[in-house]
Structure 1
Amino acid sequence: MSTTTINNQLRIHSIESFGTHDGPGIRLVIFVQGCEFRCLYCQNPDTFDLKGGKLMDLDEIVKRAVNMKPYFKKEGGVTISGGEPLLQRKVLSELFKKLHAENIHTCLDSNGRLLNDEVKSLLNETDLILLDIKHINNEWHKKLTGLDNISTLKLADYRESTQKPMWLRYVLVPGWSDQEEFLHELGQHFKDYKTIEKIEIQPYHKLGVHKWEKLGLKYELESTLPPSKEEIEKAKKIFSQYFKEVKVN
């Protein structure tokens, strides 16, 4: 279930040097290649292929991060996003160790695809995890992603047990993930977690549709419109009953 890595190399898709929406502060964001979820709204379907992208030496990533330290200041650091980072868990553990040796904050943006000892080792080196909850209802989760949400919820439970910080992320898709009863169910599920610092609502958009077309893939949500301001505010009000901070990205 892991992508191919050679020695200390990470299979990446792209890099964003001054990210401000993937964790605290200014961040170097590495988008890794490979994902087993097939989210209907994915804005980067070109990351699906486990053998796509390009290999990058960990030392090169660390060098870039060290050069950016003046911009990171106290809050910033490196975020690994995707694709799905957990598919390259062993090499990411090594990368995070190297970053910690340089006193650089580490952040992981994951859909929680799996939980095993290697993932736990990576989470031990992860200062903050941004956990993408696609849907709290398992059947709707399968409709949206093609896979169940069991491992995602197990990973959230494990992270809570370690008492290390976590942010939740939730893509709000009209007709798919905006059902009022399920928003309450999600809140109820996580309301007693002590490690969740905030939940981020990410309104659905169509910015990646052209990538689906370029890859010759059918975009199933063609007729789905982005949520209105009223729909976003409604979801925010519901989540505010359960989480100490709700942010709309």
Structure 2
Amino acid sequence: MNATAAQREADEVGAPVVELGVPLVGGSNHRSTAGTAGLDVSEADRVERFAQMRAGELGSLHSWELVTAVDGPGTRLTTFLSGCPLRCLYCHNPDTMEMRRGEPITADELLGRIRRYRPIFEVTGGGLTISGGEPLMQPAFVARVLRGAKELGIHTAIDTSGYLGAHCTDAMLDDLDLVLLDVKSGDEETYKRVTGRELAPTLDFGCRLAARGTEIWVRFVLVPGLTDDVENVERVAAYVASLSTVTRVEVLPFHQMGRDKWDALGMRYELDETPAPSPELVARVREQFRAQGLTTY
């Protein structure tokens, strides 16, 4: 393909690695955070970037942070990739929904940063977690980073809704020690209301992980009036209990910490009047999971 044809293809197709036909979110192009400090941004032109993204050499990165006891065991370097097929009503990082809001970072540049923290990972039992957005929007880039991390002897995890689980190859699973699986609802209609998408791909991916023996931590966001229905929670708990490799369930109480980001991006936030769940509600939901024999936090 010559440069003119490549440019035309890039103009027509755009940057996303996985084409989903998801409409763009309206509002400002400005990111509410600029969390790529310490990483060199690629200066490749648009055509070259497109080719590099297809090859997995380049990714769209929103931010990274070093955290402890979050996103997996030990101290983690968590990278947040841009782009997500879901439109969760309670998303606290709506600035990661579109890939165009990220910065172009090469896999080698990111792996260089990861390598610097290997001594910390070894001491704390931590490692790398790739989050988003939805990391499986950029499967080739994620595959390359996971392979590089495993070559460094680093524990690896991804935080995913599972909606794009079909894009996670067996080779990628071989390079994953842990999957943080966000099961947002057990009821099809509620899941559609929360995310705008179908529930089945998440359920299928969880079953695939369990069949391969991949460790799973499940995350469930508890939103009063949306995901807290007793029957909905029972369905989630029963499904999670059927997955033999789940070692932990995290019930995450809804909060309003991301509301200002929605406003800054010119996006309508539908849960403005939704309160945080009461301690009693959180305790009830956690007990529903524990009743299924699950270790729950």
Same fold? TM cut 0.5 = yes
Q: Which structure 2 residues correspond to residues 95-174 of structure 1 after superposition, within 5 A?
A: 95-116=145-166, 118-174=168-224
User: Aligned partner of 2:144: which letter?
Assistant: E
Match of 1:242 in 2: 292
Point out the more displaced range, 181-190 or 216-225.
181-190
Q: Is the 8 A contact 1:112 1:151 kept in 2?
A: yes
Match of 2:231 in 1: 181
Q: Is the 8 A contact 2:219 2:249 kept in 1?
A: yes
**How many angstroms apart in 2 are the aligned matches of 1:243 and 1:21?**
23
**Is 1:66–2:115 an aligned residue pair?**
yes
**How many angstroms apart in 2 are the aligned matches of 1:233 and 1:117?**
36
**Structure 1 residues 11 and 19: CA distance shift in structure 2, 3 A:** farther
Give the deviation of 1:162 after TM superposition: 0.1
**How many angstroms apart in 1 are the aligned matches of 2:228 and 2:174?**
33
Q: Secondary structure at the match of 1:30?
A: strand
**How many angstroms apart in 2 are the aligned matches of 1:106 and 1:148?**
27
**How many angstroms apart in 1 are the aligned matches of 2:163 and 2:227?**
19
Q: Which structure 2 residues correspond to residues 46-61 of structure 1 after superposition, within 5 A?
A: 46-61=95-110
Q: Is the 8 A contact 2:136 2:167 kept in 1?
A: no
Q: Secondary structure at the match of 1:14?
A: strand
Match of 2:59 in 1: 10
Point out the more displaced range, 25-34 or 15-24.
15-24
**Which one of the candidate residues 65, 70, 83 is aligned to 1:34?**
83
**How many angstroms apart in 2 are the aligned matches of 1:79 and 1:228?**
30
- Deviation readout 1:140-162 (Å, 9 max, x if unpaired): 00001111111000000100110
Give the deviation of 1:120 after TM superposition: 3.5
Aligned residues: 247
Give the deviation of 1:18 after TM superposition: 2.8
**How many angstroms apart in 2 are the aligned matches of 1:173 and 1:234?**
13
**Segments ≥4 residues shifted beyond 6 Å:** none
Larger Rg: 2
Point out the more displaced range, 120-129 or 139-148.
120-129
Identity of aligned residues (%): 34
User: Aligned partner of 2:267: which letter?
Assistant: L
**How many angstroms apart in 2 are the aligned matches of 1:52 and 1:112?**
22
Q: Secondary structure at the match of 1:154?
A: helix
User: Aligned partner of 1:52: which letter?
Assistant: R
**How many angstroms apart in 2 are the aligned matches of 1:117 and 1:54?**
22
Give the deviation of 1:65 after TM superposition: 1.5
TM-score, structure 2 as length reference: 0.80
Q: Is the 8 A contact 1:18 1:27 kept in 2?
A: yes
Match of 2:73 in 1: 24
**How many angstroms apart in 2 are the aligned matches of 1:33 and 1:169?**
20
**How many angstroms apart in 2 are the aligned matches of 1:117 and 1:34?**
14
Q: Is the 8 A contact 1:167 1:198 kept in 2?
A: yes
Match of 2:129 in 1: 79
**Structure 1 residues 121 and 138: CA distance shift in structure 2, 3 A:** farther
Q: Secondary structure at the match of 2:61?
A: strand
Match of 2:45 in 1: none
Give structure 1 stretches of 5+ with no counterpart: none
Q: Is the 8 A contact 1:90 1:118 kept in 2?
A: no
Q: Secondary structure at the match of 2:114?
A: helix
- Deviation readout 1:166-207 (Å, 9 max, x if unpaired): 110000000111111111121122223210001111110000
